[in-house]
Amino acid sequence: MSSSAVAFARQNQPRFLDELKALLRIPSISTLPEHKGDCRRAAESLLAELKRMGMEHGRLIEGAGHPLVYADWLHAVGKPTVLLYGHYDVQPADPLEEWVTPPFEPTERNGNLYARGAADDKGQVMAQVKALDSLLASGRALPVNVRVLYEGEEEVGGEAIASYIASKPADLRADFALVSDTEMFAPGLPTLCVGLRGMIYTEIEVRGARTDLHSGVYGGAAPNAFVSLAQILAKLKDEDGHILIPGFYDGIIPPSPEELAAWRSLPFDEEQYRTAEVGAKQLVGEASYSVLERTWARPTLDVHGIPGGFTGAGAKTVIPAKAVAKVSMRLVPGMAPAKTFALYKGYVEQIAPAGVQVEVRLLHTGDPCIVPVDNPYIQAATRALREVWGKDTVFIRSGGSIPVVGDFSRHLGLPSVMMGFGLPDDNLHAPNEKFHLKNYALGIESVIRFLEEASR
């Protein structure tokens, strides 16, 4: 049985597609200063559209960077309030020569729409906006109270939205959030992401001699900061992927047997993952856990870079005085960033070789989060998705972090429904990013149905 809003969305699909293309033509690349005006233009065009549709209190929230877009509609008396989240900024498009068609000239090809930001995240933002458009145009009302908050700095760390949420403004009072910035596990398979790993990102700085020294004159007596740093790094994790920091794994909450059983039934091909996605001769990590468990529900430690020392062409016989490594850990439910950092820092200081001084710095953190599958809004979402896609929802986790989800939870007490319509091969952050056209149409219908189900 088709709601009038769904019928409206189907009739207006060509217009909705044109409106998405217009937004995609704006190169709102948040990290490049020369596109600052384009970011504002994208924000203003979203705001104008929300106001035209009948959303109220529309405004840009200004901060140091790119503005937030806010609007609301709060006339569903006695019904819950949802906070809709997405981002209008995009990644840079280079290398440009690898794009089949220009990144900011959206082009339809093989059932997909190709453009930078098509899936991440303008297509998903517009799926929300056009769902509201369909509901307001066909019924002049929304089934629940709605607040919209779109940011323009997601690809550059999201500082503006983080500090706005932390100030707990009355404008963000809600019962739950709908976050559309994730993907489906496989084409046609409705998916909700119900868990995210947290993280701590750190630097280890090792200092040996007062200045760089000649290795012929001082080698053998002077401490080498790089060798000492390598010795420290080698003691953080063993060859089986086990992290050696004492107490690191204490308190971890493992996935339930039901969740693990559900993961085993997902269409996941480990060999395909190894060859096509990772491209390595063997996968590594804790052998007693499956790949999905290792990437979704186990903590990890990675080294990202070791700048410094002599890296030019040829040879220079120097003993570097200083070496730095960037090291991060992904955390899972039951782990707290502050506690993990304290354990890690204490361990690094304890294993530091003789002759060097070590400083361990914390750059940033994010909390792990999990949304219980029996949450009523998750349940409403699964009913909506079954109706639209004709299949039962799969619940997955993500090994990455979506900081705004942690902020919604910590500062506003909101559970997030992470309902996304991207696909694993959408080329996010890469050349030839695309959004599957069918997912745009059914994404709009999914949001309509979800808001209707959430009002029951």
For Zn ion, the closer CB: 202 or 432: 432
Closest CA to 42 of 131, 135, 109, 104: 104
179-198 positions binding Zn ion, by CB under 5 A: 181
- Cβ partners under 8 Å of residue 252, min gap 6: 299, 332, 333, 334, 335
Count of residues of this chain found to bind Zn ion when the rule CB under 5 A is applied: 3
Catalytic residue at 62? no
The CA distance from 172 to 188, in Å, is 33
Catalytic residue at 120? no
Closest CA to 334 of 300, 299, 307, 288: 299
**What tokens does 199 get?**
């993280």
Residue 120 found at the interface with Zn ion (CB under 5 A): yes
Of 130-138, 176-184, 330-338, 342-350, the segment contacting Zn ion by CB under 5 A is 176-184
**Alpha helix ranges (H) inside 297-436:** 337-351, 376-389, 403-412
CB 114 within 8 A of CB 433: yes
Could you tell me the smallest distance in angstroms from the CB atom of residue 121 to Zn ion?
Answer: 4
- Cβ partners under 8 Å of residue 109, min gap 6: 100, 101
Of 31-39, 40-48, 173-181, 182-190, the segment contacting Zn ion by CB under 5 A is 173-181
As a residue count, the chain comes to: 456
For Zn ion, the closer CB: 151 or 181: 181
How many other C-beta atoms can be found within 10 angstroms of the C-beta atom of residue 345?
Answer: 18
- Cβ partners under 8 Å of residue 364, min gap 6: 199, 200, 201
CA atoms within 13 A on the CB side of 6: 16
Could you tell me the smallest distance in angstroms from the CB atom of residue 182 to Zn ion?
Answer: 8
**What tokens does 190 get?**
């409705």
Residue 367 found at the interface with Zn ion (CB under 5 A): no
Q: Hunting for tokens 């990013």 — which residue is that?
A: 433
Residue 426 found at the interface with Zn ion (CB under 5 A): no
For Zn ion, the closer CB: 197 or 294: 197
In the shown chain, the binding pattern of residues 69 to 108 toward Zn ion, with x for contact by CB under 5 A and - for none, equals ----------------------------------------
Could you tell me the smallest distance in angstroms from the CB atom of residue 123 to Zn ion?
Answer: 11
For Zn ion, the closer CB: 120 or 445: 120
In the shown chain, the binding pattern of residues 368 to 407 toward Zn ion, with x for contact by CB under 5 A and - for none, equals ----------------------------------------
For Zn ion, the closer CB: 121 or 407: 121
How many secondary structure helices (H) and strands (E) does the chain include?
14, 18
Could you tell me the smallest distance in angstroms from the CB atom of residue 114 to Zn ion?
Answer: 17
Of 96-104, 117-125, 269-277, 347-355, the segment contacting Zn ion by CB under 5 A is 117-125
Q: Hunting for tokens 């020392």 — which residue is that?
A: 309
For Zn ion, the closer CB: 182 or 328: 182
Closest CA to 164 of 67, 231, 252, 243: 67
Of 121-129, 363-371, 385-393, 441-449, the segment contacting Zn ion by CB under 5 A is 121-129
- Residue tagged active-site, from 72, 120, 154, 183: 154
Could you tell me the smallest distance in angstroms from the CB atom of residue 87 to Zn ion?
Answer: 6
Residue 433 found at the interface with Zn ion (CB under 5 A): no
The CA distance from 379 to 396, in Å, is 15
Residue 153 found at the interface with Zn ion (CB under 5 A): no
Closest CA to 387 of 166, 190, 133, 185: 190
Residue 121 found at the interface with Zn ion (CB under 5 A): yes
Of 24-32, 174-182, 345-353, 390-398, the segment contacting Zn ion by CB under 5 A is 174-182
Residues with catalytic roles: 89, 154
Binding-site ranges for Zn ion (CB under 5 A): 120-121, 181
